[in-house]
Amino acid sequence: MSIVDHQFDLAAPRISEAGVADYLALLKPRVMSLVVFTALVGLAIAPGHFHPVLAFTSILCIAVGAGASGALNMWYESDIDALMSRTANRPIPRGRVTRPEAATFGVTLAFFSVLTLGILVNWYAGALLAFTIFFYVVVYTMALKRWTAQNIVIGGAAGALPPVVAWVAATGSLSAEPVLLFLIIFFWTPPHFWALALFRNDDYARAGVPMLPVVAGPHATRLQILLYTIVLVAVAAAPWPLGYFDAVYGIASLLLGAGMLWLAIDVYRHREGAAASRGTKKLFAFSIFYLFALFATLLIEVLVRAIAPWVG
Amino acid sequence: MDDKQEPKGIVLTEAQKKSRRERSIAIALALGVLVALFFAVTMVKGPAVLVRPM
């Protein structure tokens, strides 16, 4: 007779079938592409010569740091991701990757991106990248997102920091231009995400995320979108009269700003039915184009200035 | 006595083997990129690689 006469029913260890594509999905590639692009602009407008190898290293580290933030965000939010149709197909809710695997992946990438940027480029940039990851994961994801309707307003700072990190990587210092880029992305974030939240309102309500339309209602959100868009257009145009960016940028910012403002007014005016839904979707789509085109203008100007002496 | 031995431990399925191989290759490539990056920056900076602000 054995002392222990019952069998322990030990569950078989889980063997992962997650492929590379699942881990790439954890990096939020679409968000990462915008981060890389804005960082590239921050790097391009920075004064002085920056060796291409160091520039590549900086952009790679910023991209990997952004990916790490995405993985850690998915690790923490897997419960609400499973409840929302937009996020239910992410690797953790689908059962492709476990939460500990995502957390390990995220922490490893965060560690190596910060360390590599610090060692190979400079420690100011490394520290700022570490702060950006911390802000996105701890301040936005863990603290703000489930607590306040101002989650994406304050949390937007994390998404606005990549061009600043890139500038600091190139120069080792901080000045007005990257701060202006930061402010543009910071004030762009609320209209962009609240437009999304308006047509994904049911998703956020089901998951219990206190987005502004869920907490304050769609009418208040439409007003806030309009107010933030007015501030955004002013902030985006300001570098021209202040003398930081030239007239080409200034005119582009006013034209693109007019488009943003037109759509924000449309969202404010049409509050019911198909026209309201169409308006929010249009604003969401245009806001992505707006930021891309605004930053592309700066990038093209830098390229034109660089090529001009060769062309004659 | 039966000569045939039951497989001991965990036996991976083909799908598990394939995904493990995929992940191993990805990790190897990432490490390769990291090594290449450190080598390239060392070449670019020369002795200045040891001089770091802060």
Give A260-304 pLDDT, tens digit per residue: 999 999 999 998 888 899 999 999 999 999 999 999 999 998 888
Report the residue from A12, A19, A53 with minimal CB separation from B41: A53
Contacts of residue A53 in chain B, CB cutoff 8 Å? 40-41, 44
> Chains A, B: CB contacts under 8 A, how many?
49
| Neighbouring residues of A146: CB distance < 8 A, sequence distance ≥ 6 | A80, A208, A209, A210
The 3-state secondary structure of A241-277, one letter per residue: CCCCCCHHHHHHHHHHHHHHHHHHHHHHHCCCHHHHH
Give A198-228 pLDDT, tens digit per residue: 999 999 999 999 999 999 999 999 999 999 9
**With an 8 Å Cβ cutoff, is A24 touching chain B?**
no
What is the spatial distance between Cα A211 and Cα A175, in angstroms, rounded to a whole number? 33
* Of B16, B15, B23, residue with least CA distance to A104: B23
Please give the structure tokens belonging to residue A114: 């910060």
Q: Do B53 and A120 touch (CB under 8 A)?
A: no
Q: Do A123 and B40 touch (CB under 8 A)?
A: no
Give A2-37 pLDDT, tens digit per residue: 455 555 556 666 888 899 999 999 999 999 999 999
The one-letter amino acid code at A221 reads: T
Question: Helices A29-44 and A176-199 sit at what angle, rounded to 10 degrees?
Answer: 160
Distance in Å, alpha carbon of B19 to nearest chain A alpha carbon = 5
The answer to whether A298 and A45 have CB atoms below 8 angstroms apart is: yes
The answer to whether A100 and A106 have CB atoms below 8 angstroms apart is: no
The one-letter amino acid code at A296 reads: A
Give A50-73 pLDDT, tens digit per residue: 999 999 999 999 999 999 999 999
ipTM of this complex = 0.84
Distance in Å, alpha carbon of A200 to nearest chain B alpha carbon = 34
Q: What is the pLDDT of residue B33?
A: 97
Please tell me the CATH code under which domain A20-172 is placed.
Answer: 1.10.357.140
- Ramachandran area for residue A217 (φ above 0: left; ψ -120 to 50: alpha; else beta): left
Q: What is the pLDDT of residue A7?
A: 54
Distance in Å, alpha carbon of A44 to nearest chain B alpha carbon = 19
Inform me whether the pLDDT recorded for A1 exceeds 50: no
**With an 8 Å Cβ cutoff, is A112 touching chain B?**
yes
- Residue B13 class from Cβ within 10 Å (0-12 exposed, 13-18 middle, 19+ buried)? exposed
Instruction: Give the range among A250-254, A295-299, B44-48 with minimum mean pLDDT.
Output: B44-48
The answer to whether B10 and A13 have CB atoms below 8 angstroms apart is: yes
Which residues 71-90 in chain A show a CB within 8 A of chain B?
Answer: none
Q: What is the pLDDT of residue A11?
A: 65
Q: Do A19 and B16 touch (CB under 8 A)?
A: no
Alpha-carbon dihedral sign for residues A97, A25, A190, A111: positive
Alpha-carbon dihedral sign for residues A266, A271, A277, A280: positive
Contacts of residue B20 in chain A, CB cutoff 8 Å? 16
